[in-house]
């Protein structure tokens, strides 16, 4: 196995309608037929899904003819949605790196041709990215034996890291093995990748993808325990905004060859992991007994402030951060207490030390392939 700098998983590309960029060999394969789509200005989309016999050979992308707004103008073109690791490896348990870009483009072009969509490699390289999912698979087996990903997910479900983000909401899925913090066009998800992979093997058992998943899921016949962090950026505006927050760089364009970059992936993953960790710190003190809590706070604050912070810490045993802020009418004093707690360098239980090690793996951004 070689080490690889991880880049991304799901990508959606947009290529404007132009015979020099793409052609449809079989317009009737689209539903509704592509010819009808082009004739009717009121038809929003026409979809081409992979066939069962194609999926038995390998993973396939999804293709959609669409009309979308670019600024004030409406643009007709082709949306190509795919998982980059699955195009290269038939599974996203393995991660693609910068050096896999040429293979990705070549494989994607071949898969599209199988679907009757003829696209040039240059068109794919320079296509506009309208959605991209950066993220990182963390093999907990390499960090600490006996820790299941669902334990980390359940720990994170107690936090409220994105309270200051606009309409960011938490959703708990699949019996607590997945937590999503989401707002419009932005989704931060942590989940048990091992559990998802085992379910996919059963669901896709007649396809080659199931075999690829099974091969990647076991290391020397031992089940890998994989925790995943994923940052899903669902619009051009959100991609630009997050890249600027993470790197300070203002992107000239959103071409695929530019965004397929492990440095961007590392910066985005690290930015959101650090934000999530800040949401953890206020809860660490709630796990200590009252005497120890007060001593810890007196080392950090003057007595009046320490007592004020202690009150909020004890309240966190019965309510979340968001609930406390709502109940106090977003009181500036309470918000200031939370800011103070988030700045404290608190090392708590074993789980918190494991969280630190996961952060180190995200900083390394190495990938197994």
pLDDT digits (tens, 9 = 90+) for 253-265: 999 999 999 999 9
User: Domain check: are 42 and 103 in the same one?
Assistant: yes
Is 244 within the bounds of a domain? Answer: yes
Is 353 within the bounds of a domain? Answer: no
User: Domain check: are 267 and 309 in the same one?
Assistant: no
Task: Judge whether 49 and 112 are in contact, CB under 8 Å.
Answer: no
User: Domain check: are 273 and 289 in the same one?
Assistant: no
User: Domain check: are 167 and 225 in the same one?
Assistant: yes
The residue range of the domain holding 45 is 3-280+359-368
CA angle 236, 94, 194 (to 5 degrees): 100
User: Domain check: are 303 and 334 in the same one?
Assistant: yes
Is 354 within the bounds of a domain? Answer: no
User: Domain check: are 267 and 334 in the same one?
Assistant: no
User: Domain check: are 77 and 226 in the same one?
Assistant: yes
Name the domain count of the chain: 2
**What pLDDT, on a 0 to 100 scale, did the predictor assign at position 369?**
41
Q: Is the pLDDT score of 347 beyond 60?
A: no
Q: What is the mean pLDDT of the chain?
A: 85
CA dist., res. 175 & res. 189, Å (int): 15
CA angle 33, 12, 22 (to 5 degrees): 50
Is 11 within the bounds of a domain? Answer: yes
User: Domain check: are 63 and 82 in the same one?
Assistant: yes
**What pLDDT, on a 0 to 100 scale, did the predictor assign at position 355?**
83
User: Domain check: are 129 and 169 in the same one?
Assistant: yes
User: Domain check: are 257 and 285 in the same one?
Assistant: no
Is 245 within the bounds of a domain? Answer: yes
Is 227 within the bounds of a domain? Answer: yes
User: Domain check: are 298 and 248 in the same one?
Assistant: no
**b (16+ CB within 10 A) / e for 313-350:** bebbeeebbeebbeeeeeeeebbebbebbbebebebee
**What pLDDT, on a 0 to 100 scale, did the predictor assign at position 193?**
94
Is 166 within the bounds of a domain? Answer: yes
Task: Judge whether 361 and 6 are in contact, CB under 8 Å.
Answer: no
Tokens for 325, please give them. 């802020």
User: In this predicted structure, which of 61-65, 197-201, 306-310, 319-323 has the lowest mean pLDDT?
Assistant: 319-323
Is 321 within the bounds of a domain? Answer: yes
Q: How confident is the model at residue 93 (pLDDT cuts 50, 70, 90)?
A: very high
- The pTM score is 0.82
User: Domain check: are 229 and 273 in the same one?
Assistant: yes
């Amino acid at each position: 196995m070689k080490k690889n700098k991880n880049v991304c998983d799901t990508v959606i590309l947009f290529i404007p309608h132009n015979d020099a960029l793409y052609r449809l060999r079989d317009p009737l394969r689209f539903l509704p037929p592509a010819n009808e789509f082009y004739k009717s200005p009121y038809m929003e989309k026409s979809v081409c899904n992979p066939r069962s016999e194609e999926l038995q050979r390998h993973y396939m992308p999804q293709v959609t003819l669409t009309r979308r707004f670019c600024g004030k103008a409406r643009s007709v073109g082709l949306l190509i949605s795919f998982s980059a690791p699955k195009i290269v490896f038939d599974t996203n348990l393995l991660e693609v790196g910068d050096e896999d870009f040429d293979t990705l483009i070549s494989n994607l072009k071949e898969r599209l041709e199988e679907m009757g969509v003829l696209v040039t490699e240059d068109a794919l390289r320079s296509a506009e990215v309208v959605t991209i999912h950066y993220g990182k698979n963390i093999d907990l087996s390499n960090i600490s034996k006996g820790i299941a990903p669902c334990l980390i997910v359940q720990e994170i479900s107690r936090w409220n890291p994105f309270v200051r983000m606009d309409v960011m909401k938490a959703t708990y899925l699949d019996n607590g093995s997945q937590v999503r913090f989401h707002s419009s066009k932005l989704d931060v998800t942590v989940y048990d990748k091992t559990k998802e992979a085992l379910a996919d093997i059963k669901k896709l058992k007649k396809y080659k993808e199931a075999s690829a998943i099974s091969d990647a899921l076991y290391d020397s016949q031992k089940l890998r325990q994989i925790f995943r962090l994923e940052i899903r950026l669902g619009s051009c505006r959100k991609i630009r905004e997050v890249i600027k927050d993470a790197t300070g760089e203002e992107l000239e364009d959103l071409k695929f060859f530019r965004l397929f970059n492990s440095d961007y992936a590392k910066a985005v993953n690290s930015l959101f992991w650090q934000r999530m960790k800040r949401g953890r710190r206020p809860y660490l003190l709630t796990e200590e007994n009252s005497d120890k809590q007060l001593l810890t706070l007196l080392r950090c604050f003057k007595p009046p402030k320490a007592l004020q912070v202690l009150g909020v810490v004890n309240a966190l045993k019965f309510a979340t951060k968001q609930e406390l802020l709502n109940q106090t009418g977003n009181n500036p004093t309470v918000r200031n207490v939370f800011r103070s707690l988030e700045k404290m360098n608190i090392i708590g239980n074993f789980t918190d030390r494991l969280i630190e090690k996961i952060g180190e793996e995200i900083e390394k951004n190495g990938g197994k392939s």
